Every structure is written in structure tokens, then in C-alpha cells.
Amino acid sequence: MLRFLRKLFRPRLRPMNVISINRKHILHNYDYLASLQDSAAMFPVLKSNAYGHGLEQVVKILNKTDAEYLVIDSYPEYVVAKKYSSKPLLLL
């Protein structure tokens, strides 16, 4: 009974904002920036949970690029990125 009452009177909270990740756009942006200077190596930097977009999701997307390294901001993020990255990680 108590569980029913808690469920009945619990506030229904929903997030006010939603972030959607478009794989095609991330890959296009990477290719565009890499094409600006062909002789330079590009290392995508993922910090602060990939700027709030989700570290796991963005690492999985960036695995499909030709980047030599992915750059990570902190050790806790390194641990998460290591699970999903097939590329070497550079820890700042």
C-alpha cells in the first residue's frame, strides 16, 4: 500500500532538454577539419563527458575515423573511454 501511495504522489519529472547525437554530422565535421590541412594529424579531444554528449557514444563514433589517437581529459574518463576505444588514448 505504501509503495502504491508513493508511486501515486511522486512527482513526475522529465528533463527539459534533450541532446541528440548525429553520427553522420560528427564524422562529416571530423573529415572537414582534417581536410583543411592534409599534412597535419588531428587528435579529437574528449573532455567533460564529451562536452555533455556522452563519452561512450562519441568514442564509438570516433573509432570510425582515421585519427591516430583520441585525447582524454582525466583518468576517470580514460577508464570509460578505454572500454570502447580501439584507438590509443592520450591522457592530458
Residue 30 covered by a domain: no
CA distances from 15 to 18, 19, 73, 84 (A): 7, 10, 27, 27
Residue 20 covered by a domain: no
The residue-averaged pLDDT of 74-90 equals: 92
Range of the domain at 69: 40-92
Residue 27 covered by a domain: no
CA 22 to chain centre: 11
Residue 69 covered by a domain: yes
Residue 33 covered by a domain: no
Average model confidence (pLDDT) for the chain? 88
Q: Answer whether 0.85 is exceeded by the pTM.
A: no
The residue-averaged pLDDT of 25-29 equals: 94
Residues near 34 by Cβ (< 8 Å), separated by ≥ 6? 42, 65, 66
* Number of domains observed in the structure of the chain: 1
